[in-house]
């Protein structure tokens, strides 16, 4: 059960990467519309609109403004005057179109990269203007809107959520694998740990002592055969064995004494 949960969490990386890195899936856009980076600030009698497109953009705007005024003027931060006309109204505000100056409706104007568009009430008041909804219609891109921008924000947050769940699953899987690699306690495991603690006069002597003890105690090799690999003189070989055995028996005896002391506490 826990294994399936971990696998499911790790699999969340697929929708996370899809939402974060892909613009379309199977030829179908994941999020519709061209992201123009539309933002706006409200001020008394006006709103200032910013965008973050890829370079200059030719477009026209359709905005729903909430305010007491019904007549508006507009211009870009480069002092390009724009035409504003009303498209209708409802209880939430007035729909207006912001286009290039002229007689043609929906005529696209040039929005310079890094520039802003200001929409001001003809009769300014202390009341701030608010955008209730918006559309941007670029000349060579699919339109963007408040609804589409909201879905992109939701998709980004979901991708972060999926990515976080995937990372949690990966961590849990790693912890489980580390635990699985731990060998269960056994007399041989204790013996191996004890052999690894044996120390000689030098690092080389310690290495040889451990190798001989491992051969004799774990592999079952005779003492004679275990010592033969060292290529020592017979007398030197026996002295080495007695020293090795004494060191190991000393540590083993200490361990047995301590275990007996703990046993008596039960």
Bridge partner list, 93: 90
For the chain, what is the largest distance between any 2 Cα atoms, rounded to a whole number of angstroms? 115
pLDDT at 31: 64
Bridge partner list, 75: 81, 118
Q: Where are the domains of the chain?
A: 2-28+154-180, 37-138, 187-264
Q: CA–CA separation, 266 vs 249, rounded Å?
A: 26
Q: CA–CA separation, 56 vs 248, rounded Å?
A: 81
Topology of the domain comprising 37-138: Immunoglobulin-like (2.60.40)
Topology of the domain comprising 187-264: Arc Repressor Mutant, subunit A (1.10.10)
59 within 8 A of 106, measured Cβ to Cβ: no
pLDDT at 20: 52
pLDDT at 181: 56
Q: CA–CA separation, 43 vs 85, rounded Å?
A: 21
Report the chain (266 residues): mean pLDDT per 10 consecutive residues: 61 58 50 83 91 88 84 92 90 89 91 92 77 93 90 80 77 70 69 85 88 87 85 84 87 81 77
């Amino acid at each position: 059960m826990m294994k399936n949960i971990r696998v499911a969490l790790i699999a969340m990386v697929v929708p996370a990467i899809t939402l974060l890195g892909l613009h379309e899936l199977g030829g179908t856009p994941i999020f519709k519309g061209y992201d123009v980076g539309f933002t706006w600030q409200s001020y008394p009698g006006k709103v200032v609109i910013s965008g973050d497109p890829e370079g200059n953009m030719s477009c026209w705007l359709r905005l729903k403004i909430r305010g007491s005024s019904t007549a508006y003027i507009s211009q870009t931060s480069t002092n390009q005057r724009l035409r504003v006309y009303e498209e209708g109204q409802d209880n939430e505000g007035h729909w207006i179109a912001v286009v290039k100056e002229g007689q043609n409706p929906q005529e696209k104007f040039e929005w310079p990269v890094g520039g802003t568009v200001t929409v001001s009430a003809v009769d300014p008041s202390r009341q701030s203007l608010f955008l209730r909804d918006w559309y941007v219609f670029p000349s060579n891109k699919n339109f963007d809107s408040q609804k589409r921008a909201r879905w992109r924000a939701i998709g980004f947050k979901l991708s972060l959520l999926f990515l976080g769940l995937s990372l949690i699953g990966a961590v849990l899987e790693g912890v489980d694998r580390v635990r699985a690699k731990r060998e269960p306690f056994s007399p041989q495991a204790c013996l191996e740990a004890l052999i690894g603690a044996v120390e000689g006069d030098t690092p080389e002597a310690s290495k040889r002592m451990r190798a001989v003890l491992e051969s004799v105690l774990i592999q079952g090799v005779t003492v004679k055969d275990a010592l033969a690999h060292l290529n020592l003189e017979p007398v030197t070989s026996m002295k080495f064995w007695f020293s090795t055995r004494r060191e190991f028996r000393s540590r083993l005896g200490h361990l047995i004494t301590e275990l007996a002391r703990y046993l008596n506490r039960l």
